């Protein structure tokens, strides 16, 4: 038995060395690269998935890529995940949402304990409709400014979004819960998908100092037809990468798949239900497999400036690493190159109470308004360069990494306060460290 395990360990180590999951790239394509060492057949699947991710869907009937809408937000995945990176919020109410969406619901829960759909609008405001189908309306975002003064006297400008709805297509909204969210970075997710449930449950149970807790979200797995631990989305509100991809195709673009066979129309939206459809499924099973392969094998940019030792030590000392865990080990995976690997995503994939300042007041399964999944920080230092803007946190409110940290509250309050109390030079060292990830 021992020898067998030893042999397996060696084989896994060899497989890992043969398929590195980080890429030594700090250019504008650094979020878009495949794992190293993929076979020709795997590369073909990766690139097919990539072109589906980058494509603009069109109204049916058409030769290919057909089935857009009837209701939708954007024409393609890439609109909200530019270069596999993050979206940006609008600068103000005069600008449309380009890479952001607003989740909505009414108080209460659905049959699986998830957000209760608004009877006329569902769980997401689809701003656009194909000809003949009115869009659901427009979410206008305005910024409310405030200031935080740090221990050394430096004043930092902060902002939080406020949403107003105009041009509503299907009657008044009434009492609703809303959650504006920008598109997330999407690299490295195959590895996060491959972390065992038991690992996350173990993290949740472990005792942590500073009042840090963290728990798993339990959500509906649409493909599996059961409840499962959530890990994707800002509140860990989706359980698997495949559910996430098919759910995005359906909810954001209006594309049906084997996982989400129905068009995204509410029963009262007649024009939507009667509109021409691209047949079923609009995203074929093979397309979905290729998209899932692509997303699962998007590599992570390797850390760059290894000279950030001081910041590294501060990251632990301030308590950041209690949630932004440096090391995770993946479990089994149907893709052997994702299995049993030690990775450094700087997340525990748990949801944490982050305080009132970050609350959206909209529960998502077990996650309350102020609970959010620890954001993975790998690759974060390249965000501004690759996406041409910063825009951190779930709604992109933070324009700098410092602002992002200063919004931390709740379980992260102690950590945030220690950061705010640092001398400028040590704050800089910590930020330089984040920039090196």
By the criterion CB under 6 A, which residues form the site for ligand HEC?
A: 53, 73-74, 77, 79-81, 99, 101, 181-184, 186, 189, 212, 232-234, 237, 244-245, 248-249, 252-253, 291, 295, 318-320, 322-324, 352, 354, 358, 372-375, 380, 392-394, 401, 404-405, 408, 411-412, 415, 419, 434
Q: Which is nearer to ligand HEC, 9 or 361 (CB)?
A: 361
Rounded to the nearest whole angstrom, what is the least distance from the CB of residue 11 to ligand HEC in the complex? Answer: 30
CB of 418 to ligand HEC, least distance (A): 7
By beta-carbon proximity to ligand HEC, the closer residue of 152 and 274 is 152
Q: Is the dihedral of CA 257, 259, 263, 264 positive or negative?
A: negative
Least distance to ligand HEC, CB of residue 5, Å: 33
Complex with ligand HEC: residue 184 or 264, whichever CB lies closer: 184
CB of 65 to ligand HEC, least distance (A): 12
Q: How far is the CB of 135 from ligand HEC (least distance, A)?
A: 13
Q: How is residue 294 written in tokens?
A: 């692509």
For residues 329 and 116, give the distance between their C-alpha atoms in angstroms, rounded to a whole number: 35
Closest CA to 118 of 175, 40, 58: 175
Residue with smaller CB distance to ligand HEC, 237 or 269: 237
Closer residue to ligand HEC (CB): 338 or 354: 354
Q: Locate 390 and state its tokens.
A: 């910063």
Q: Pick between residue 354 and residue 429 the one whose CB is nearest to ligand HEC.
A: 354
Give yes or no for a cis peptide into 281 (omega within 30° of 0): yes
Count H helices and E strands in the chain, helices first. 13, 15
40 vs 64 by CB, closer to ligand HEC: 64
Tell me how crowded residue 21 is: count the other CB atoms within 10 A of its CB: 24
User: 148: part of which helix (H) or strand (E)?
Assistant: strand 138-149
Q: How far is the CB of 428 from ligand HEC (least distance, A)?
A: 13
Residue among 248, 253, 254, 201 at smallest CA distance from 229: 201
Structure-token pair, residue 282: 């609009």
CB 132 → ligand HEC: shortest distance, Å?
22
Burial class, 308, CB count within 10 angstroms (exposed 0-12 / middle 13-18 / buried 19+) = buried
Hey, what are 36's tokens?
């190293």
E strand spans, 222-378: 226-229, 300-301, 328-329, 342-343, 351-353, 371-373
């Amino acid at each position: 038995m021992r020898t067998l395990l030893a042999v397996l360990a060696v084989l896994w180590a060899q497989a890992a060395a043969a398929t590195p999951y980080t890429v030594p790239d700090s250019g504008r394509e650094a979020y878009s690269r495949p794992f190293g060492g993929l076979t020709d057949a795997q590369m073909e699947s990766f690139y097919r998935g990539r072109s589906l991710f980058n494509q603009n869907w069109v109204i049916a009937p058409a030769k290919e890529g057909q089935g857009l809408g009837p209701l939708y937000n954007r024409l393609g995945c890439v609109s909200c995940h530019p270069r596999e990176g993050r979206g940006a919020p609008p600068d103000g109410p005069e600008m449309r949402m380009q890479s952001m969406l607003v989740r909505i619901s009414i108080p209460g829960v659905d049959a699986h304990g998830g957000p209760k759909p608004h009877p006329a609008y569902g769980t997401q405001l689809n701003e656009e409709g194909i000809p003949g189908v009115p869009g659901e309306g427009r979410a206008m975002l305005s910024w409310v400014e405030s200031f935080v003064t740090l221990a050394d006297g430096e004043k930092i400008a902060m902002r939080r979004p406020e949403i107003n709805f105009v041009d509503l297509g299907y009657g008044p909204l009434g009492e609703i819960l809303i959650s504006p969210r920008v598109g997330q970075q999407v690299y490295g997710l195959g590895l996060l998908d491959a972390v065992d449930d038991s690992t996350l449950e173990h993290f949740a149970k472990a005792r942590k100092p500073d009042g840090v807790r963290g728990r798993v979200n339990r959500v509906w797995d649409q493909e599996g037809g059961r409840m499962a631990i959530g890990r994707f989305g800002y509140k860990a509100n989706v359980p698997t990468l495949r559910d996430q991809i098919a759910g995005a195709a359906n909810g954001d673009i209006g594309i049906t798949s084997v996982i989400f066979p129905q068009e995204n129309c509410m029963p009262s939206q007649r024009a939507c239900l009667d509109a021409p459809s691209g047949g079923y499924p609009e995203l074929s099973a093979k397309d979905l497999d290729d998209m899932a392969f692509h997303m699962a094998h998007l590599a992570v940019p390797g850390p760059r400036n290894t000279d950030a030792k001081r910041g590294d030590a501060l990251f632990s000392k301030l308590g950041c690493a209690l949630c932004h865990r440096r090391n995770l080990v993946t479990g089994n995976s149907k893709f052997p190159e994702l299995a049993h690997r030690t990775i450094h995503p700087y997340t525990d994939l748990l949801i944490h109470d982050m305080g009132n300042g970050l609350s959206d007041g909209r529960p998502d399964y077990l996650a309350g308004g102020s609970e959010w999944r620890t954001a993975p920080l790998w690759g974060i230092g390249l965000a501004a360069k690759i996406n041409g803007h910063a825009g951190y946190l779930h709604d992109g409110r933070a324009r700098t990494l410092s602002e992002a940290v200063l919004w931390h509250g709740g379980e992260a309050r102690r950590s945030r306060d220690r950061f705010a109390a640092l001398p400028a030079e040590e704050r800089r060292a910590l930020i330089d460290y984040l920039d090196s990830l």
